[in-house]
């Protein structure tokens, strides 16, 4: 965790961690979407954290406004009980699901809003972050075209 992120919520710190320490994976996921010949599915265990970050960046590239990206992310809260129940039935995730309250797993609009705001402040927005991490204008244009067709 970067020192200047210590005051952020755990979820925001986690998402910033993906962007700081796994930038290659985030960019790789967007590259895979932009070059795929068919439909793309983006997922992680619950489909809200790593998936949420990747999808937020993809939506930003597609030209979706900040507030709509936040609303899209927050919609996962509507099905979080079912997601947590499914993960709790898995030997891989059961212990973690039992240890923590569902509220810990619930996506909150303010989390994605804060992440996008920090990207705006620190990188000139999601597109600036992508550009700084090797996903430049040409790849962004290819992804935008793919997502908007």
Per-residue pLDDT band for 130 (boundaries 50, 70, 90) equals: very high
Of residues 117 and 102, more confidence is placed in 117
| pLDDT tens, residue by residue, 9-46 | 989 999 999 999 999 999 999 999 999 988 898 887 66
Mean pLDDT score across all residues of the chain: 90
Whole-number pLDDT of residue 94:
79
Whole-number pLDDT of residue 19:
96
Handedness of CA 22, 104, 108, 10 (dihedral sign): negative
- Cα dist from 64 to 1, 107, 127, 144, whole Å: 29, 19, 12, 10
pLDDT higher than 90, residue 106 = no
pLDDT higher than 90, residue 3 = no
| pLDDT tens, residue by residue, 73-95 | 999 888 888 887 888 888 888 78
Whole-number pLDDT of residue 114:
98
Whole-number pLDDT of residue 33:
96
- The ranges assigned to domains in the chain are 9-147
The distance from CA 92 to its chain's CA centroid, rounded to whole angstroms, is: 22
Cα 25 to Cα 131: distance, rounded to the nearest angstrom: 15
Whole-number pLDDT of residue 64:
98
Contact (Cβ atoms closer than 8 angstroms) between residue 19 and residue 130: no
Cα 58 to Cα 42: distance, rounded to the nearest angstrom: 11
Domain 9-147, CATH: 3.90.190.10
Residues 6+ apart with CB under 8 A from 74: 107, 108, 109, 112
Of residues 71 and 10, more confidence is placed in 71
Whole-number pLDDT of residue 102:
63
Residues 6+ apart with CB under 8 A from 38: none
């Amino acid at each position: 965790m970067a020192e200047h992120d210590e005051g952020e919520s755990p979820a925001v710190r986690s998402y910033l961690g993906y962007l700081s320490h796994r930038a290659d994976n985030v960019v790789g996921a967007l590259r895979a979407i932009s070059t795929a010949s068919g439909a793309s599915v983006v997922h992680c265990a619950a489909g809200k954290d790593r998936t949420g970050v990747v999808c937020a960046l993809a939506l930003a590239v597609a030209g979706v406004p900040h507030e709509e990206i936040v609303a899209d992310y927050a919609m996962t809260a509507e099905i979080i009980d079912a997601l947590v129940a499914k993960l709790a039935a898995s030997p891989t995730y059961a212990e973690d699901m039992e240890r923590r309250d569902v509220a810990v797993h619930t996506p909150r609009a303010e989390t994605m809003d804060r992440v996008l705001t920090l990207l705006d402040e620190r990188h000139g927005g999601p597109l600036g972050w992508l550009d700084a991490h090797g996903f430049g204008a040409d790849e962004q244009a290819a992804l935008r075209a793919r997502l908007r067709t």
